[in-house]
Amino acid sequence: MGNDTILEARNINKYFREPVLFHVLKDINFKINNGEFVSIMGKSGCGKSTLLYILSTMDTDYEGDLMFMGEKITGKPHEELARIRNKHIGFVFQFHYLLSEFTVLENVMLPAKKLGIKSLGEIRHDAMEKLKLLHIDDQAHKLASRISGGQKQRVAIARALINDPAIIMGDEPTGNLDSMNAENVLNIFKDLVREQNLSLLVVTHDHDFADQTDRIIEMGDGRIIHQ
Amino acid sequence: MINCKVILSISKTHLLSRIKQTAIAALGVTFGIGTFIILVSFMTGLNGLLDGLILNRTPHVHIYNEIKPSATQPIDLYTKITDGFKVVQSVKPKFTQAKIHNALPLMSQLNANPDVKGAIPQLRAQIFYISGSIELGGNLVGIDVLEEVRLFNFGQYVVKGTPQALNNIENGILIGSGVADKMSLDVGNTVQVSTVGGAIFPLKIVGIYQSGLADIDNIQSFASLKTVQRILGEPQNYITDINVKLFDIEQAVPMAQFIEKQFKLTAIDIKTANAQFETGTSIRNLITYAVSITLLIVAGFGIYNILNMLIYEKMNDIAILKATGFSGRDVKYVFISQAILIGLIGGILGLMIGFGMSVVIDNLPFETDALPTIKTYPVNFNPWYYVIGITFAMVSTFLAGYLPSRKAQKIDPVEIIRGQ
Ligand SMILES: Nc1ncnc2c1ncn2[C@@H]1O[C@H](COP(=O)(O)OP(=O)(O)OP(=O)(O)O)[C@@H](O)[C@H]1O
Ligand SMILES: [Mg+2]
């Protein structure tokens, strides 16, 4: 079974110390298998984003162990965590996050350039493919600051896909999209899971969206109440 | 390497998308470096000029026979009085000749020394210039004119006529410009000089000598060694001074000490004779560097400020870069490379402006009676100053960029993302 698990949280606890001590995540335990599409639901403020930052290795200030691809990554140096994020984890933020002075295409290409495996031509080609997938290839050469919120969100999803990661984490990735585009993103996600054995972990408030995923993790008040 | 390219392309985009701020930061460096180059070129050019005025024509070691009392008086040899003072009053100088004993062998020995560029003879004579019934006191120095030209830039100070004429024309004289003015003499005229002994000789003026120091030009003239020896009625080995020029001026002190000890002559080295010049030079250099460093520090603060601001504006970018797999170090390099690019562009521009201004200054007319050979402001185009300038620009911008970049390295992306 061990090899099937891509991500595992073991007894994760997190506290905010400012302004008062606040136990935000309490004994979080769960696994995500290869090729599994999991959604996280819960009330606003229950700690979903906080959990996602820990799982994405960006936040290292927590207790407990995080296993990724069969390896314990808790306590690894920042450099190495950055490399893991770059290669294996695609992240879509709750709010669209692009480099505003770069074009859409450059934004999508950047993580691949950092990874440095493919040639520039290949990277450009792949980036265009991902943009096409999300129906925004016509915006490729615009500055990222000159496109709409929903378009930005789709660019961010394209960027998350560029290095063909093992897992994509999304914090309400369809939050800013109209129902048609949300549907499209959902379908893309499903295809990726089916065709490339990609894992997905998505925070959402959208029950229709969540119902179409393999599993729903219910959170409440810093705990997992149902999975 | 690939990493490097990505980082550079990011910092390039950052710089170009805020071209105004980049330009201001770079211009700060340009101003600092440009001023440094102008200041240092002009100051050292001036130093060189002033040094040349005195130091180039001053022998590194000047050897002569000084008239002075004997260091040991006869009574010192009397050893019978053990507990008492020996007091000698009205000590008279020891009688010696002004000439250097065995000057010719001494010179050939010095010339054989590999440290010595040349050791050449002079014969100084007290004379009077005679104009009608007026007698003007003065000096006539017998020289080997070609050697003087070779070793002590003598030719630069002959403002009319040529120094070589001394050798070609029998009984020629290069007369001091002050003397020539006072006596209304010019090249081609004849001047009468009389020795202390009273003999009168007519000498033909073949040129006018102007050192720029009025005290010298008012009394001193030059003739060939032979001419002066004949005027004084002395033989060919009669020489009062030997001037030594060394390859390395630093050897002057030990060389002078060696000669004093070995030959029992007075030997004055250039350092002792012109200590004040070195002080002046080093103080001028100090001022140059102090002003330039101040300017560069100001420029550095400008860069520091702009990068600091940039990093606050770029919090989002930093968070995104980190979230998508750029490490803290990568982010640090993104900002350091911006500082270095600003330093490089600003610095090179500064060098170019500095060079341009130096060329302009170098061509400005600057004429003064004190410096007959100088026609324009002196500028030193030493390439080392350009190397120092660009190094300084790079180092100061690196330091100014380093602290803000460290901050960018430490920014926690989660905090930024959450803060939205
Ligand atoms: N930096 C912080 N310091 C202190 N408390 C914080 C901090 N960030 C978040 N919190 C608190 O932690 C709790 C969890 O926040 P989190 O952002 O994870 O909620 P969420 O489940 O993602 O909510 P939403 O659905 O609205 O995005 C909230 O109660 C919030 O007030
Ligand atoms: Mg949230």
Nearest Cβ partner for B13 among A86, A102, A163: A102
Residue B213 counted as domain residue: yes
Strand partners, A147: none
Three-state DSSP class for residue B224: strand
**B89 is a domain residue:** no
Q: Does B319 reach chain A within 8 Å, measured CB to CB?
A: yes
- What parts of chain B have a pLDDT lower than 70? 1-2, 53, 95-96, 276-277, 369-373, 420
Whether residue A98 is contained in a domain is answered as yes
Q: Do A82 and B325 touch (CB under 8 A)?
A: yes
Q: Quick one: B395 and B412 in the same domain?
A: yes
Contacts of B3 in chain A (CB under 8 A): 114, 116
C-alpha to C-alpha distance for A211 and B333, rounded to whole angstroms: 45
- Is the CB of residue A114 less than 8 Å from the CB of residue B325? yes
The CA distance from A130 to B172, in Å, is: 97
Task: Determine the residue type at B328.
Answer: G
- The residue among B7, B11, B314, B324 with the most chain A CBs within 10 A of its CB, best to mutate, is B324
Cα–Cα distance list, B410 to B103, B322, B327 (Å): 78, 11, 10
Count of C-beta atoms within a 10 Å radius of residue A87: 16
Same domain, B111 and B258: yes
Count of structural domains, chain A: 1
Burial class (CB in 10 A: 0-12, 13-18, 19+), B387: exposed
Q: What is the rounded distance in angstroms from the CA atom of residue A166 to the CA atom of residue A182?
A: 22
| pLDDT given at position B378 | 85
Question: Does residue A134 fall inside a structural domain?
Answer: yes
- A125 alpha carbon, distance to own chain's centre: 23
Domain that holds residue A107: 36-60+77-226
- The residue among B223, B243, B268 that closes a domain is B268
Q: Give the count of domains, chain B.
A: 2
Residues B256 and B310 in one domain: no
Q: Is A5 close to ligand 1, i.e. is its CB under 6 Å away?
A: no
Question: Distance, CA A205 to ligand 2 centroid (Å)?
Answer: 10
pLDDT digits (tens, 9 = 90+) for A112-153: 999 988 999 999 999 999 999 888 899 999 999 999 888 888
Q: Are residues B102 and B202 in the same domain?
A: yes
User: Residue A21: CB within 6 Å of ligand 1?
Assistant: no
Q: Which residues of B333-349 are buried (b: 16+ CB within 10 A; e: fewer)?
A: bbbbbbbbbbbbbbbbb
Least distant ligand from the CA of B418? 1
Q: Is residue A16 a part of any domain in this protein?
A: no
- Which residue of B17, B325, B417 is in closest CB contact with A114? B325
**Is residue B51 domain-shared with residue B66, that is, in the same domain?**
no
- What ranges make up the beta strands (E) of B322-415? none
- Omega cis (within 30) before A19: yes
- CB pair distance less than 8 Å for A53 and B414: yes
Q: Which of B209, B239, B268 delimits the end of a domain?
A: B268
The reported pLDDT for the residue numbered A43 is 92
The pLDDT score that the predictor gives to residue A88 is: 93
A108 contacts on B by Cβ (under 8 Å): none
pLDDT of A61-86, one tens digit each?
Answer: 999 999 999 899 999 999 999 999 99
How many other C-beta atoms lie within 10 A of the C-beta of residue B97? 10
User: Does residue B87 fall inside a structural domain?
Assistant: no
Whether A193 is covered by a domain: the verdict is yes
Could you write out the three-class secondary structure of chain A? CHHHEEEEEEEEEEEECCCCCEEEEEEEEEEEECCCEEEEEECCCCCHHHHHHHHCCCCCCCEEEEEECCEECCCCCHHHHHHHHHHHEEEECCCCCCCCCCEHHHHHHHHHHHHCCCCHHHHHHHHHHHHHHCCCHHHCCCEHHHCCHHHHHHHHHHHHHCCCCCEEEEECCCCCCCHHHHHHHHHHHHHHHHHHCCEEEEECCCHHHHHCCCEEEEEECCEEEEC
Q: How far is the CA of A80 from the centre of ligand 2 (A)?
A: 26
Q: What was the pLDDT predicted at A3?
A: 58
Residues B257 and B288 in one domain: no
Residue A154 lies in a domain: yes
**What's the domain range around B140?**
61-75+95-268
Beta-carbon contacts below 8 Å between A and B: 78
Is the domain of B67 the same as that of B40? Answer: no
CB contact (8 A) between residue B320 and residue A97: yes
Quick one: how far is CA B54 from the chain centroid? 10
Which chain B residues are closer than 8 Å to A56 by Cβ? 323
B327 in A contact zone (CB under 8 Å): yes
Pair of tokens at residue B222: 């030059």
Which pLDDT score is estimated for A13?
94
B200: three-class secondary structure by DSSP:
strand
Q: What is the pLDDT of residue B379?
A: 87
A208 occurs within a structural domain: yes
In chain A, which residue's Cα lies nearest the Cα of B315?
A99
Neighbours of A207 (CB within 10 A): 11
Q: Do the Cβ atoms of B325 and A53 come within 8 Å?
A: no
Answer yes or no: is B310 within a domain. Answer: yes
Domain at A179, CATH number: 3.40.50.300
- Name the pLDDT band for A96 (thresholds 50, 70, 90): low
Residue of B nearest to A93 (CA): B417
Secondary structure class of B161 (helix, strand, coil): strand
CB contact under 8 A, A83 and B327: yes
**B71 within some domain:** yes
Residues of chain B with pLDDT > 70, as a percent, come to: 96
Indicate the residue among B236, B268, B300 that finishes a domain.
B268
**B277-311, pLDDT tens digit by residue?**
677 777 877 887 888 788 778 777 877 887 788 78
Which of these, B60, B368, B10, B383, lies nearest to B210 by C-alpha position? B368
Separation between Cα atoms, residue A201 and residue A91, nearest integer Å: 10
pLDDT given for residue A1 in this prediction? 40
Q: What does the pLDDT look like over A25-44, one tens digit per residue?
A: 999 999 999 989 999 999 99
Domain co-membership, B257 together with B112: yes
**B252 and B320 belong to one structural domain:** no
Residue at A48 is within a domain = yes
Inter-chain contact A86–B325, Cβ cutoff 8 Å?
yes
